[in-house]
Structure 1
Amino acid sequence: MKQHIQQVVKQIEIDYDVKVLYACESGSRAWGFPSKDSDYDVRFIYVHQKEWYLSIDHKRDVIEIPSRDKISIPIHELLDVSGWELTKALRLFRKSNPPLLEWLRSNIIYYQSFTTIDQMRHSAKNIFSPASCIYHYLNMAKGNFRDYLQGNEVKIKKYFYVLRPILAAKWIEKYNTIPPIKFEELVKDIINPGELKDEIATLLERKIAGEELTLEPKIDVINQYLTKEIEHLEHFTKNINIEIPDPTNMLDNLFRDTLEEVWG
Structure 2
Amino acid sequence: MKKHIQHVIKQLEIDYEIKVLYACESGSRAWGFPSKDSDYDVRFIYVHKKNWYLSIDQKRDVIEVPSRDSLSIPIDNLLDVSGWELTKAFRLFRKSNPPLLEWLRSTMVYYQSFSTVDKMRQLEKNIFSQNACLYHYLNMAKGNFREYLQGDTVKIKKYFYVLRPVLAAKWIEKYNTVPPMTFQVLLEDLLTNGVLKEEINTLLKRKIAGEELNLEPRIHVINEFLLEEIEKLELYAKSLNIKNPDPTSQLDDLFRETLEEVWK
Give the shorter-chain TM-score range. Answer: over 0.9
| Per-residue deviation, residues 160-201 of structure 1 (Å, max 9, x unmatched) | 010000000000001111111110110111112111000000
1:1-264 aligned within 5 A: 1-264=1-264
CA deviation vs aligned residue, 1:213-250 (integer Å, no higher than 9, x gap): 11111111001111111111111111111121111000
TM-score by length of 2: 0.99
Distance in 2 (CA, whole Å) between partners of 1:206 and 1:53 is: 49
Amino acid at match of 1:137: Y
Q: Distance in 2 between matches of 1:29 and 1:126?
A: 29
Secondary structure in structure 1 of the residue aligned to 2:239: coil
Q: Residue type matched to 2:74 in 1? A: P
SS at match of 2:47: strand
The count of residues paired between Structure 1 and Structure 2 equals 264
Aligned partners of 1:247 and 1:44: how far apart in 2?
22
Look up the equivalent residue of 2:5 and give its one-letter code.
I
1:102, 1:223 → 2: CA distance?
26
Identity level (%): 75
Distance 1:55 1:93 in 2: 23
Amino acid in the other structure paired with 1:228? E
Q: Aligned partners of 1:152 and 1:11: how far apart in 2?
A: 49
**SS in structure 2 opposite 1:211?**
coil
RMSD, aligned CA: 0.6
Corresponding residue SS for 1:238 = helix
